[in-house]
Structure 1
Amino acid sequence: MNSFHRPPRHPHAWAWLFAASQLAVVAIWWRWGWQPGLAALLVSHLTLVWATLRPQSRLLSPVLTRLPTAEPVVWLTIDDGPSDDTRAMLDLLDARNARATFFLVGDRAQARPELVGEIARRGHGIGQHSHTHPQARFWALPPMAMRAQIDDAQAALTQLAGAPPRWFRAVVGMANPFVAAALKRHGLARVAWSARGFDAVMQEPAGVASRIERDLAPGAIVLLHEGARHGRNVETLAAVLDRLDQHGYRTVLPEQLEAQA
């Protein structure tokens, strides 16, 4: 089977590259003076920050941004559950003959174990989305805290779902240099997205669906959420499924494409 599930192979390569860049900074500073040296220093550090904050960046670890297919299919992904929306979303997906991967938060899954089992029982995927979803500081977590977030969530979801998740999505998509080593330990592959509608904050389902519609393409990874405070995530999912139908797209799980390859 030809797999596009790619956990990090060299999780510490970034450190060697960064060290080499700092040696280059020293050489530039010594040879041409402080102004070029300072500019080189800023570029090297800003590159690391950019790689952390940009969800689609592959500089720190491999990341899947779209499925490698020319078929009119998309991977529907739903973050931040389980929540009060989960069961209604499952019913809607069943009614529309659609499949999705739910990227679950570990401690939320432990609080609602029956929903984790229901997701798996109905044939949907389960991915990992950290253990406590520290939205404001996930991108800046130090090594041990990052490892705990990923280790604890993987243990919780494996126990509840009966199988270990294969896919990981960073909180807010931002993965700092310490994510890769933790992913490698569990054979997790990082997933970003190629189509999003900001439904965690936007309340109008039609507006979210229109934003996603603009980025639809074969193999698109669609990012949606559940449990937002505005309470309209289920309506938004229905609107997005309508747009997919209008454009002749169907939903698929990556494992189905891997099996066909």
Structure 2
Amino acid sequence: MDTPHRPPRRPHAWLPLLLLSQGLVAWAWWRWGWPLGLPLMFATHAVCWWGVLAPNSALYGPVLSRLPTGAREVWLTIDDGPSGDTAAILDLLDAHGAKATFFLVGDRAQARPDLVREIARRGHGIGNHSRTHPQAWFWALGPRRMRAEVEGCQRQLAAITGATPRWFRAVVGHANPFVSAPLRDEGLARVAWGARGFDAVDVDVARVLGKIERGLAPGAIVLLHEGAAHGRNVEMVAKLLQRLDALGYRTVLPRP
């Protein structure tokens, strides 16, 4: 498999397009008035919001949403740890001969460094999922706070494992215009997903697995979580691993 690792190269490429679009809006408003200018303004703003809120949008920088393979392989990604679920999930992965990438929150990793080292020791990947996981406001962070979230998590995870993460997942998948510059500087590639079951909020194991299975395909990136308040993430991972085995899928870690 060719490496799909693509850090941003031009983190500010969106800015000229934004300025051009708003210039066109101003010209249309001046030329034809609000009946055209107002809907055109709303349309251009909607595109900008789509770039923030759609996890697979590459408007503000490259994002990986599937692996470049035709084989029955999937990439398991597990967000929000380390947590009280981590050890049990690691045992499940071992039992199925499966590998996953854990996208870890820096402050949580600093509080449970032994779990982070155990993830690495067992041959799993470790990714950057921000320093503090500001779930409600990540989409709105300015450049200084965004850089602190990305770089702070890098420093914390590197200090624990001795290795610098190469993959980044935006909190809730929301990536605003300011995320690409620190990703470029840290050599991080942003990862989205193609199969998800909303396992962080849904307590129905069968419903979660059904949603994930509908997204399964060769090269699918599967989004999972650990440590959710409902307490059923370990059970969900166990059932998913059983289902992947039954469907003939194997798990892979892409080359960074």
TM superposition score normalised by structure 1: 0.96
1:153 is displaced (CA, Å) by 0.5
Q: Does 1:205 align with 2:205?
A: yes
Give the equivalent residue in structure 2 for 1:58. 58
Give the equivalent residue in structure 2 for 1:181. 181
Query: What is the SS of the residue equivalent to 1:254?
Result: coil
1:204 is displaced (CA, Å) by 2.2
Give the equivalent residue in structure 2 for 1:100. 100
Give the equivalent residue in structure 2 for 1:145. 145
Matches within 5 A, 1:38-49: 38-49=38-49
1:15 is displaced (CA, Å) by 1.1
Deviations 1:169-192 (A, max 9, x none): 000000011001111110100000
Number of aligned residue pairs: give it. 256
Contact 2:168 2:188 in 1 (8 A): yes
Partners of 1:211 and 1:53 lie apart in 2 by: 20
Give the equivalent residue in structure 2 for 1:172. 172
Query: What is the SS of the residue equivalent to 1:123?
Result: coil
1:144 is displaced (CA, Å) by 0.7
Deviations 1:66-98 (A, max 9, x none): 001000000000000000000110011001100
Contact 2:3 2:254 in 1 (8 A): no
Structure 2 counterpart of 1:151, one-letter code? E
Partners of 1:218 and 1:226 lie apart in 2 by: 24
1:206 is displaced (CA, Å) by 2.1
1:7 is displaced (CA, Å) by 0.5
- % same residue: 65
Partners of 1:252 and 1:237 lie apart in 2 by: 16
Partners of 1:249 and 1:2 lie apart in 2 by: 19
Of the structure 1 ranges 34-43 and 69-78, higher mean CA displacement relative to structure 2 is found in: 34-43
Q: Does 1:155 align with 2:155?
A: yes
1:150 is displaced (CA, Å) by 0.6
Deviations 1:31-74 (A, max 9, x none): 22222111111111111111100001011110000001000000
Partners of 2:206 and 2:34 lie apart in 1 by: 53
Give the equivalent residue in structure 1 for 2:13. 13
Partners of 1:62 and 1:111 lie apart in 2 by: 31
Query: What is the SS of the residue equivalent to 2:217?
Result: coil
Partners of 1:203 and 1:26 lie apart in 2 by: 49
Partners of 1:7 and 1:64 lie apart in 2 by: 10
Structure 1 counterpart of 2:181, one-letter code? A
Contact 2:86 2:115 in 1 (8 A): yes
Contact 2:2 2:68 in 1 (8 A): no
Query: What is the SS of the residue equivalent to 1:130?
Result: coil
Contact 2:77 2:102 in 1 (8 A): yes
Give the equivalent residue in structure 1 for 2:79. 79
Query: What is the SS of the residue equivalent to 2:11?
Result: coil
Query: What is the SS of the residue equivalent to 2:20?
Result: helix
Contact 2:99 2:252 in 1 (8 A): yes
Deviations 1:108-127 (A, max 9, x none): 00000001100000000000
Deviations 1:188-241 (A, max 9, x none): 000000000111011122221111111110000000000001111111001111
